[in-house]
Amino acid sequence: MIEAVERLSKSPLEAVHERLGATMIERDGWAVPESYGDELLEYAAVRERGCGVIDLSSRGRILVSGTEAVQFLNGLITNDMKTLAVNSWMPAAFPNVQGRLIASVRVMRLMDEGADKKASPVFLIDTEAPTHESVLKTIERFTLAGDFRVKDVTGETAMLSVQGKKAIDVVRSVLGDGAAGVEENQLTQIAHDSSGSSDPLAATLPSRSNQVAVVRASHTGADGFDLVVIIDGAGSLWDALQGAGARPVGFAALETLRIEAGVARYGVDMDETNVVTEAALDDAVSYTKGCYVGQEIIARIKYRGHVAKKLTGVTFEQAVKVAAGATVNAEDDKEVGRVTSTTYSPHLGRTIALAYLKYDYLPVGTSLRISSGNEHFAARVTELPFVR
């Protein structure tokens, strides 16, 4: 049964989800599949011995190119674009001048445009749906300042994610050894446009329905691949992946999987009130690249001390009902933090949560008491990710 969701952005795979009987919900302005009928089986397909396919087309995808693309991006984000090789990707963050988080992103370097000395780099920025517009506005204002071109390709492409222990087998079955052989933090474009088009989308991303950009990445803590394809080819690619053994997985199961993997979600676990390094995005920050927006604040925190609080994992002794926003207390009842996300982990057989804790209470194993309503639960600090 599909709930009516009006006036929302819709995935190019909407007809596929309807055919599969998905229950649709609203999330971040998009109609997305909550479940295809059995959330637990969807979870198990990824976490146990199988494989799941997830429609992540609601994420924002922005193409950036031009001879000055590296220079401009380096002045806006926390990681070092000069070190990013072709056909690889790295995490990064867009901070404001106070070092607070505008967006957490993944920056992929595609094949350069042009040839030899005239070649210019091309990047694909992937970000969550809530931060799509803010990232686009942040970078678009520099398009008149030099050879720096920006194109929002979210509406022209779809992104399917294959996650689980058998992800590599499914990708190999559908897309071949070249796709399955992509290494961690790498990507490949298994086909290229031969028409001679100068359009960066046609030159650097799949431009026909049978062409796919393959990115080795996980959103769940399991092995995974993200597949970017022009929307005309999204349905047939989904059907092929499902036919090869990937089970459709909705956002309800994905929520449990991403919390187990310690993946923070914008608007839930982090937002514009958080300094970048509070949100457990340490891998997204370079401390050697030089100046960028917010760099002084972020560097000062690192070299003069530490953040006052940080996102970390919390494990309860059993299965309990705890709401986001619940207060975290130390053993002496001193308030030391708050819960941001919580779920029951089938893999661990207990409730887990992401929470911001004051610095002195971050050591793994620290005993805590979580207050949710009139109830109080014992818990302990746990290193992320919960499931490896």
Percent of the chain with pLDDT over 70: 93
Q: How confident is the model at residue 196 (pLDDT cuts 50, 70, 90)?
A: very low
200 pLDDT more than 50? no
The radius of gyration computed from the CA coordinates of the chain, to the nearest angstrom, equals 21
Q: How far apart, in whole angstroms, are the C-alpha atoms of residue 143 and residue 106?
A: 20
Pair 50, 164: CB distance under 8 Å: yes
Q: How far apart, in whole angstroms, are the C-alpha atoms of residue 387 and residue 358?
A: 23
Range of the domain at 289: 1-305
204 pLDDT more than 70? no
290 and 312 co-located in one domain: no
157 and 256 co-located in one domain: yes
299 and 330 co-located in one domain: no
Short-list 13, 32, 205, CA closest to 128: 32
Whole-prediction pTM value? 0.92
Q: Compute CA distances 12 → 17, 206, 235, 236, 376, whole Å.
A: 10, 16, 8, 11, 45
48 pLDDT more than 90? yes
**Helices 167-175, 234-243: crossing angle, 10 deg rounding:** 120
238 and 387 co-located in one domain: no
How many domains does the chain contain in total?
Answer: 2
Given 250, 270, 305, the domain boundary residue is 305
CATH number at residue 348: 2.40.30.110
Mean pLDDT of the chain: 92
Q: How confident is the model at residue 139 (pLDDT cuts 50, 70, 90)?
A: very high
pLDDT on residue 208: 54
pLDDT, mean of residues 145-171:
96
**Type of residue found at 333:** D
108 and 6 co-located in one domain: yes
Question: Cβ-count burial of 274 within 10 angstroms (0-12 exposed, 13-18 middle, 19+ buried)?
Answer: buried
CATH number at residue 20: 3.30.1360.120
Residue 359 per-residue DSSP state = G
pLDDT on residue 119: 78
Least confident among 35-49, 111-125, 314-328: 111-125
339 and 354 co-located in one domain: yes
Contacts of 194 (CB under 8 A, 6+ apart): none
Instruction: Determine which helix (DSSP H) or strand (DSSP E) holds 122, and give its type and residue range.
Output: strand 120-127
Q: How confident is the model at residue 7 (pLDDT cuts 50, 70, 90)?
A: confident
pLDDT on residue 194: 31
Q: Which carries the bigger pLDDT value, residue 301 or residue 115?
A: 301
Q: How confident is the model at residue 193 (pLDDT cuts 50, 70, 90)?
A: very low
Residue 112 per-residue DSSP state = E
pLDDT on residue 209: 55
E-state strands within 284-334: 309-316, 327-329
CB atoms within 10 A of CB 11: 21
Q: Which carries the bigger pLDDT value, residue 314 or residue 191?
A: 314
Q: How far apart, in whole angstroms, are the C-alpha atoms of residue 274 and residue 94?
A: 12
Q: How confident is the model over 273-311, as pLDDT tens digits? A: 999 999 999 999 999 998 999 999 999 999 988 999 999
